[in-house]
Amino acid sequence: MKTLIVIPIQKELSFFLHMCAEYGLAAEDATVGRLSATRFPDLGITLVLGGLGKVQCAVQTQHALDVGRDWDVVICAGAAGALVDELSVGDVVVATETVEHDIHNRFGPPLLPRFSGAATIVASLSRVILPHNAFSVHLGPIASGDEDVVDGARREELHRLTGAVAVAWEGAGSARACRLSEVPFVEIRGITDGADTSAAADFATNLETAMRHVATLILTWLRESYS
C-alpha cells in the first residue's frame, strides 16, 4: 500500500520522523515534485510537509497527488484541540469525517462542507492493537478551519455546530484535494489541548506526546497491514 502522509508544520513532522527512527525504519530522502519528502520503503510511506492553513495544505497535497505515485491513501496527520471532555491530552482521533467550519456565509444557513474519512481505513485503524495503556483512540468528526480556538464559549459553539470532537486547521484542505483527485483520505490528530484559554501553552508542552502517539498508531497499523 502506498501511503502519503501530509503533516502541516515542521515541528509536527520532526516528531513523527523521530518516532520512525525509534521504530528502526530506514529512511530515504526524496522529492515529490517540488516538495522535499522522506520515504520509508519498508512500510510504503512517503512523508511531506503540508504547510500551515487549509489553503497551503490543499495546494501542497494537490501537487503531491498530481506529480507523485499512485497513492492508495492520503493521511493528514497532526495535532488538535479537544472539543469534548471525553478526550485527554495524548489521545488520538481518527476522523470519520472532516468538517470545514470557517466559511462565514451570511446569505443563508451555515455552510459546513463535510469530507468523509475512507471507511475501510478508519475501520482498520480502529482495530489496531496498541501497547497496553498506551493511549486511547477515538473515532469521530474533526472540525477544520484556520482559527485558533482558545475559549470555552467558542469550543462549545463549534461542537454544537459541527458535532466534531476535536478541532484543527488543515484537514479540509487536504480533504478537498483528495476529493478532486478521487483518492481515499483520512485525518488523524493527536490531542494537545482543550481548545481553551491555556491552549497555546498546552500545545507547546504536549505537541511531542501527541505526535508520538499519532505516529505510533499509524506505524503500528501499517506494520500489521504488512505482516
Q: Specify the amino acid at residue 74.
A: V
Give this prediction's pTM.
Answer: 0.96
**pLDDT at residue 227, as a whole number:** 57
**pLDDT at residue 225, as a whole number:** 82
Contact between 96 and 120 under an 8 Å Cβ cutoff? The reply is no
Q: Which residue has the cell 468538517?
A: 99
At 109, the pLDDT band (50, 70, 90 cuts) reads: confident
Cell numbers for 184: 481515499
Contact between 83 and 159 under an 8 Å Cβ cutoff? The reply is yes
Phi-psi region of 169 (alpha: psi -120 to 50; beta: other; left: phi over 0): alpha
Concatenate the DSSP letters of all residues of 26-83 into one string: PPEEEEETTEEEEEEGGGTEEEEE--SSHHHHHHHHHHHHHHS---SEEEEEEEEEES
At 226, the pLDDT band (50, 70, 90 cuts) reads: low
**pLDDT at residue 69, as a whole number:** 73
**Domain 3-226 classified CATH 3.40.50.1580?**
yes
Query: What does the pLDDT look like over 140-174, one tens digit per residue?
Result: 999 999 999 999 999 999 999 999 999 999 999 99
Provide the mean pLDDT of the chain. Answer: 96
146, exposed or middle or buried, with CB in 10 Å at 0-12, 13-18, 19+? middle
- For the chain, the structural domain boundaries read 3-226
Cell numbers for 192: 494537545
225, exposed or middle or buried, with CB in 10 Å at 0-12, 13-18, 19+? middle
Q: What is the DSSP letter of 111?
A: B
Whether 119 shows a pLDDT value over 90: the answer reads: yes
How much of the chain is helix, strand and coil, in % rounded to 5? 40, 30, 35
What burial letters (b/e) apply to 182-217, b meaning 16+ CB within 10 Å?
ebbbbbbbbbbbbbbeebeebbeebbbbbbbbbbbb
